[in-house]
Structure 1
Amino acid sequence: MSRSPAFVFFVAVLGIAVFSSMDAIMKSLVLQLGAYDTLLWRTLAGTVLTGLIYLPRRTAWPSRATMRVHLIRGAVSAVMAVTFFWGLARVPMAQAIALAFIAPLLALFGAAFVLKESIPRRAIVASLVAFAGVGVIMLGQATSAPNPDRFRGTVAVLLSAVCYAYNIVLMRQQALVAGPREVAFFQSLIVVVILGLGAPFLAHVPDVRHALPLVGAATLATVSLMLLAWAYARGEANYLAPTEYTGFIWASLWGWVVFSEPVASYTLAGAALIITGCLIAARRRGQENVEAAF
């Protein structure tokens, strides 16, 4: 069934909203358990959850070529997740997401190089406008007092953003050869296997009171993966990449509500530019849809 470009864009935005909400739960857990334990147990819960969704309905195991894409994205995602959540515990949510916004801009050109996609002028303008919003936010952050721990967190988030740029391109490749259930399952499985290599030396069993937040974070991560896989199967990476910028709105909201992180005037001005960039991208017409079964 064909889906309009606007609807595909909306589903991608919804996937980012769900993922950003998960970030708030994860930051709280990382502050209590540490980045490694939080990611290990959340991903383990996600593997069980996605396995219950995918395995009973699978018709065949993925081909070797498809598994290669799963493995590459899983490995990139493991590095991306550890660095991001380690950094997120050391910087405000809004700042972490703002720093991560270099990823969609890099992904535009990565998609052209890896996937041989054209880069429409509207997509470039949209990303540049949104990236200008990130610049405004960073200008505001530069007025804060120096903090060595925050600097280390900033470096970690930037490293994660570089990984995420590649991850966005891989998301498109993966979505073209596998359905959302398969994508979500193998993403979780591969990441938990990679993280599990360090379990004998680094893992600790969390207190039972952390079980519900961990399962909740895993559920939100699974829903987000499936929504984004559905969207990226039907829209080019250079078209959907600007939806990543909407995550800043949610990061600002949850940072303020959950962690009492104030939203500065620079933040609001940057958010306005980010929204403008996304609206420019959403108005694109003539998008070629790629069919994929849910």
Structure 2
Amino acid sequence: MNRTTLAMLLLVIGNALALISDAFVKAYSGDVPVAQFVLVRTLITLVFLFPFVLRSTRRRLASGWKVQVVRAQISVFGTICMVVALNHLSLATANAIFYAAPVIVMVLAVVLFKEQLTRASLTAVVFGFVGVLVILRPVEIGWQSLAAVGVAFSLAINVLLIRRLSAEQSPMEMLLVMHVFMLPALTVISLFHWTPVTVDIALGALGSSFFILCYNMTVLIAYRWAEANKITSSEYTGMIWAILGGWVVFGEVPDAYLLIGSGMIVIPLVWLALSEQRMLKSSVSDNHVNSRRKLQAAES
């Protein structure tokens, strides 16, 4: 088994771990003030992250701190929205809307960075937008559904803001600094509706934090082992895990709207990833042929 195959397998496993994290949120955060649950989860996450940054320097940790402050506040909003969405929507429905994030990234990249959409990208954007509408069914849109859309937007904006961060920071350092900057806002919000931290709160926050960090580790390793364009499509197996997990653990049977809408979001994204992979292979092949022709011409 080569490294690319192993990397794809890691992403499949990683997305299953992310789904377990969502399941902990759904199972244990329903009777807790949302901001307080997120605060406890953030503190536990910092404990997990600390050993990975023991050798970091102050200069590296402080690099790009202004951008990290912005990302942290967006993450506070997005994480609170995530807890709300998971508590009121099925796992599959919430995750299907979360998967609109790559579509939003493409649109915002055009608006903010003047990037050009290819025909394949434009198709993914259009189908993704329609897919979200199919899942939400505009006549049934409520604040729970809007919370899931808020998660997708926060994920997309944070992805774009990564471009503004220093390349010398490791992913673990980025995560640590961002979570530190999340604490002030979460603390202030939590104080308005503070309740005693029960075993359920601690267990839910611990499980969610642990498994989402495991997911982050699998992603980090996978993208170091193989080129992103070769393995990205494996990320979308998360939708399959969400449908299966919701069905087996919570008895959530997906309806036709969810299945059709999810397909409209995920299939074009997978097709886009595969088409970009073919284009890259074609480009590499053409460059190789041109190099051989130049070499033959030089020799003759």
TM superposition score normalised by structure 2: 0.74
Distance 1:61-1:229 versus aligned 2 partners, 3 A rule: farther
Deviation at 1:40, TM superposition (A): 1.2
SS at match of 1:197: helix
User: Is the 1:171–1:232 contact (alpha carbons within 8 Å) kept by the matching residues of 2?
Assistant: no
| Equivalences for residues 105-120 of structure 1 within 5 A | 105-115=103-113, 117-120=115-118
CA deviation profile, 1:142-193 (whole Å, cap 9, x unmatched): 6xxx6xxx82212322333332321221245448452111122122222233
Where structure 2 has 5 or more consecutive residues not aligned to the other structure, the ranges are 284-300
Root-mean-square deviation (CA, aligned residues, Å) is: 3.7
1:154 paired to 2:154:
no
Distance 1:14-1:104 versus aligned 2 partners, 3 A rule: farther
| Equivalences for residues 67-86 of structure 1 within 5 A | 67-86=65-84
1:195 paired to 2:186:
yes
1:96 paired to 2:94:
yes
User: Is the 1:19–1:220 contact (alpha carbons within 8 Å) kept by the matching residues of 2?
Assistant: yes
| Equivalences for residues 11-22 of structure 1 within 5 A | 16-22=15-21
1:266 is matched with: 257
1:62 is matched with: 60
Higher helix share: 2
Where structure 1 has 5 or more consecutive residues not aligned to the other structure, the ranges are 289-294
2:45 is matched with: 46
2:30 is matched with: 31
Partners in 1 of 2:178 and 2:220 — Cα distance? 11
Aligned length, in residue pairs: 275
| Aligned partner (choices 174, 199, 209) of residue 208 of structure 1 | 199
Partners in 2 of 1:75 and 1:59 — Cα distance? 24
Deviation at 1:72, TM superposition (A): 1.4
Distance 1:253-1:92 versus aligned 2 partners, 3 A rule: same
Partners in 2 of 1:7 and 1:186 — Cα distance? 30
Deviation at 1:264, TM superposition (A): 1.8
The residue identity in structure 2 corresponding to 1:186 is V
2:156 is matched with: 165
Deviation at 1:228, TM superposition (A): 5.1
- Name the % identity: 25
The residue identity in structure 2 corresponding to 1:123 is S
Distance 1:73-1:118 versus aligned 2 partners, 3 A rule: same
Distance 1:171-1:275 versus aligned 2 partners, 3 A rule: same
1:179 is matched with: 170
The residue identity in structure 1 corresponding to 2:105 is A
CA deviation profile, 1:253-291 (whole Å, cap 9, x unmatched): 222222211112333334444442233123113299xxx
Partners in 1 of 2:131 and 2:265 — Cα distance? 5
TM superposition score normalised by structure 1: 0.75
User: Is the 1:180–1:226 contact (alpha carbons within 8 Å) kept by the matching residues of 2?
Assistant: no
Partners in 2 of 1:130 and 1:8 — Cα distance? 26
Deviation at 1:244, TM superposition (A): 6.9
Deviation at 1:127, TM superposition (A): 4.2
User: Is the 1:179–1:229 contact (alpha carbons within 8 Å) kept by the matching residues of 2?
Assistant: no
Partners in 1 of 2:20 and 2:72 — Cα distance? 21
